[in-house]
Amino acid sequence: MSACCLIEREVSEKDYQTWILELNAASFDGRVLTLAAPFGLFRDRVKQSFLPLIEKAVSSAAKSDCTVSVVVGAYAGTTPSTRERYRHAVGKRVRSSGPTKAERNGNKKQRERSFENFIVGDGNRLAYLGAIQLADENVAEGGNPLFLYGGVGLGKTHLLMAIARRLRARGKRVAYYQGEDFTRRMVEALKLRRMEVFHREFRSVDAFLVDDIQFLAGKKRTQQELYHVFNLLHGAGKPIALASDRAPEELENMTPGLRSRFQGGLLADLGPLDRDLRLRILKAKLSENGVSIDDHIVERLAIQLQGSVRELEGLVSRLKAASSQQSLPLDDGVVETMITPYIGRRGPVDLEVVIETVAWVHGLSRDEILSRDRSRRVAWPRHIAAYMCRKLTSASLPEIGHALGGRNHTSILRAVRSVSDREAGDSSFASRLQQMEKMLGASPSLKRSQELRV
């Protein structure tokens, strides 16, 4: 019997899904299995609660005495490749942590904003794992409260709702508030002289979640009530999760006592979506909505679109509406029209986005553009990247040189001039440059106000 099966028989399904499957097998030499945990608290919990069991199971599967080391290391989540490495290390089969059959057959609306459909990347992995830990009520591990922060549309509300859904599925009573709703309920209770009823509600809940906590800034009485609710539930070991558009130390007009409590648990920021995560989200959303687009167009969209998950969902909705009017897959022309509202209003373009776009257009990788390769195949696209960076961004020549692999400003100036000269005498080449500008979505006002400085 495999080690995984042995472990699964000895622990609850919740612990198996949360702690065992989230370990990444880093190496196995036949006697020592090294497992990578995503962060220190996770590692400590595994060592404290599961290490003897894991060592016993691995030794039984390997038919020899084995030791297991749990470290904090490179973490890639339970992707298929991770599960394959884990399979070779500890046994025959690792069960997927995806939706159950009942969930797959359930109403789509009921499955929205769950842990199963939250797409994990480097920028949100800590937030995701912290949310799972809280949802499974592992509040003694230092992750309570969980404070999620980041820009609009990056997944904070999704994670809060996933926490609430998992807790309610186990029969827990969850108090879930928007920041403004908490204030409104408190004011109503004051007016009706029903504060005792307001307080009683929180004494009976099993978890407390508040979204958009920044809206409580400057509201002294509301903050006072939140302070008391927080202390009541935290002291009782109840899960607390809060979400904000900024870190606790950046919350102005918030009492020091509250800020201190926010910082007392796990602070998890949700960073901007990188290209890989945008690509995975786009593919998932397009598949969910039955929209068929060629892979090369989807890859290009992942480069062009620099917004939030919400904007990606909005674009997919537009594409779905367009695809319903024609039976064939959407072509480049239709897609370009659909994405205009999402890229036409962007301000200055990021240097990295320019470099990635130029590389993609010319069939190169970003690393090739930044390399010391001086062949025409690579050098000329590098010149174009320098030109586009100079034209569409406010970066200086030294800044562009640094972004393009540490080149000096003289080299960048020569590259810009060579592309500019060819543009002036080659209408076909000038047209291709205009197409790249369109892909990058530089706003018309930006192009008018920033002349090419050579």
> Which string of DSSP letters, residue by residue, matches 153-188?
TSSHHHHHHHHHHHHHHTT--EEEEEHHHHHHHHHH
- Secondary structure percentages of the chain, helix, strand, coil, to 5: 60, 10, 30
Q: How many CB atoms lie within 10 A of CB 1?
A: 11
The tens digit of pLDDT for each residue in 406-427 reads 999 889 999 999 999 898 888 8
DSSP class of residue 250?
G
Q: How far is Cα 255 from Cα 261, in angstroms, rounded to an integer? A: 10
Classified by CATH at the fold level, domain 275-343 comes out as Helicase, Ruva Protein; domain 3 (1.10.8)
CATH second-level architecture of 351-449?
Answer: Orthogonal Bundle (1.10)
Please report, for the chain, the start and end positions of each structural domain, with discontinuous segments joined by +.
3-90, 125-270, 275-343, 351-449
What's the first-to-final CA gap in the chain, in angstroms? Answer: 70
- Banded pLDDT at 314 (limits 50, 70, 90): confident
| pLDDT digit string, tens, across residues 352-381 | 888 888 887 787 888 899 999 989 999 999
* pLDDT confidence of residue 62: 84
Query: Token pair for residue 120?
Result: 């994990």
- Top-confidence residue, 174 or 319: 174
Instruction: Give the pLDDT confidence of 153-172 residue by residue, as tens digits.
Output: 888 999 999 999 999 888 88
In this prediction, residue 17 carries a pLDDT of 64
Residue 343: predicted pLDDT: 60
Q: What is the pLDDT of residue 453?
A: 44
In angstroms, rounded to a whole number, what is the distance separating the alpha carbons of residues 160 and 377? 48
Cβ neighbours of residue 202 closer than 8 Å, sequence gap 6 or more: 175, 208, 229, 232, 233
What homologous superfamily does CATH list for 3-90? DnaA, N-terminal domain (3.30.300.180)
Average pLDDT, the chain: 78
Q: pLDDT grade, residue 140 (50/70/90)?
A: low
Between these two residues, 24 and 439, which has the higher pLDDT value? 24
pLDDT tens track for 4-57: 778 888 887 667 766 787 687 888 888 898 888 766 656 777 888 889 999 999
pTM: 0.54
Locate 87 and state its tokens. 């399979």
* Dist. CA 183–CA 94, nearest whole Å: 46
16 against 316, higher pLDDT: 316
Whole-number pLDDT of residue 94:
33
The answer to whether residues 344 and 443 touch, using CB atoms and an 8 Å cutoff, is yes
Is a pLDDT exceeding 90 seen at residue 284? no
DSSP strand pairing (266-270 vs 146-150): parallel
SS3 of 356, please? helix
The answer on pLDDT for 327 being more than 90 is no
Burial (CB < 10 A; 0-12, 13-18, 19+), residue 406, is exposed
The second-level CATH assignment, the architecture, of 125-270 is 3-Layer(aba) Sandwich (3.40)
Cross-sheet strand order for the sheet of 266-270: 174-178, 207-211, 240-244, 146-150, 266-270
Q: Is the pLDDT of residue 176 over 80?
A: yes
Backbone angles phi, psi at 267, to 5 degrees: -90, 120
